[in-house]
């Protein structure tokens, strides 16, 4: 079986490796064009491109797959199957029809919940008890195709966007490896249509969402801090200083203070009054500085250390 793979970020790399290890012939890797990155804004290859170049697989980086030229280029590779994992470009109907077995997608949610761009972070923000990965047969709609295989994982109270991302990336590779193994053995996977009920959309994360609003319940702000680690990282003004908030936990607190007020501070953290309860902040980052624990931050803020 001839495989083509399309993916771009770090999340896609374990699935790329699963394709390489499957026993199928990996004929090409599609990834987005190099983008400016870092302080110097120099063009940088995607994680998938780096992995592909390290193993000698042909790399294609079209700006779009809508042109007849790009579609013919893919057809020339004669793929039996195209595996798509967080590629970031829309696949036109003509592209979906090129591989003999169509196109598979590894999606980081329990479909039809959290179709779209940011399913990992949206699941944490919503307080979902679990997440997972679905191996889906692609069709023209946004993440609407029937599901071939699934894996599930609980979302733990201490999970961040980063930790859940890594766990789901590994699960995605496992479910893809199983699908490829069974297909190579001659099995036709059963495609189960998604339920009509329970559809939600995981809209792309925006930097503007990072600001914490202490009028909201503390538990919602805790989820926001966790979901936005490592990007875009929650932000808040604490006692007159704008900080990035890397770690925090909702605690019970019966208070009548204005939202955003510092209730207490000490080794365990800085307790901020919220619309319901309090948010105990345990790791912050000052402008131009590095991530530090709350205790280290309080050493530089003697005005806050005086609080009860």
Residue with token string 């770690």: 247
Residue with token string 């936005």: 228
99 is in an annotated binding site: no
Return phi, psi of residue 132, to 5°: 170, -170
Q: How far apart are CA 19 and CA 24, in angstroms?
A: 7
- Nearest C-alpha neighbor of 214 from the set 163, 259, 151: 259
* SS3 of residue 292 by DSSP: strand
111 is in an annotated binding site: yes
110 is in an annotated binding site: yes
DSSP state of 204: P
User: Which residues pair with residue 201 across a beta bridge?
Assistant: 115
Q: What is the total residue count of the chain? A: 308
> Is 46:8 a contact under the CB 8 Å cutoff?
yes
> Is 37:63 a contact under the CB 8 Å cutoff?
no
> Is 172:85 a contact under the CB 8 Å cutoff?
yes
The token duo for 276 is: 């319901």
> Is 93:141 a contact under the CB 8 Å cutoff?
no
3-state secondary structure 245-283: EEEEEEECCCCCCCCCCEEEEECCEEEEECCECEEEEEE
Q: Kindly tell me the sign of the dihedral angle through the C-alpha atoms of 42, 43, 48, 50.
A: negative
109 is in an annotated binding site: yes
- Interhelix angle 13-20/47-55, nearest 10 degrees: 20
Q: Annotated binding residues for (6S)-5,6,7,8-tetrahydrofolate, as ranges?
A: 109-112
Q: Annotated binding residues, as ranges?
A: 109-112
């Amino acid at each position: 079986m001839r495989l083509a793979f399309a993916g771009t970020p770090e999340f896609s790399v374990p699935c790329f490796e699963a394709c390489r290890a499957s026993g199928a012939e990996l004929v090409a890797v599609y990834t987005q064009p190099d983008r400016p990155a870092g302080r110097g804004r120099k063009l940088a290859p995607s994680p998938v491109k780096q992995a592909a170049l390290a193993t000698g697989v042909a790399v294609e980086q079209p700006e779009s797959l809508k042109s007849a030229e790009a579609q013919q280029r893919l057809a020339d590779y004669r793929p039996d199957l195209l595996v798509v994992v967080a590629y970031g470009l829309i696949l036109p109907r003509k592209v979906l029809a090129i591989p003999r077995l169509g196109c598979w997608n590894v999606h980081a949610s329990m479909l039809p919940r959290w179709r779209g761009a940011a399913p990992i972070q949206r699941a944490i923000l919503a307080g979902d008890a679990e997440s997972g990965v679905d191996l889906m047969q692609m069709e023209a709609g946004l993440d609407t195709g029937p599901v071939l295989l699934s894996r599930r994982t609980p979302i733990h109270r201490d999970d961040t966007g980063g930790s859940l991302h890594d766990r789901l990336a590994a699960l995605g590779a496992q479910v893809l490896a199983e699908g490829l193994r069974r297909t190579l053995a001659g099995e036709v996977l059963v495609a189960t249509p998604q339920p009509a009920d329970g559809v939600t959309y995981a809209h792309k994360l925006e930097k503007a969402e990072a600001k914490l609003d202490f009028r909201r319940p503390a538990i919602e702000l805790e989820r926001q801090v966790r979901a936005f680690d490592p990007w875009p990282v929650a932000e808040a003004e604490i006692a007159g200083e704008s900080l990035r908030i890397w770690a925090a936990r909702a605690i019970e607190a019966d208070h009548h203070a204005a939202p955003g007020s510092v209730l207490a501070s000490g080794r365990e953290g800085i307790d901020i009054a919220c619309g319901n309860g309090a948010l105990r902040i345990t790791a912050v980052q000052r402008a131009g500085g590095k991530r530090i624990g709350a205790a280290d931050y309080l050493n530089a803020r003697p005005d806050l250390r005086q609080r009860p």
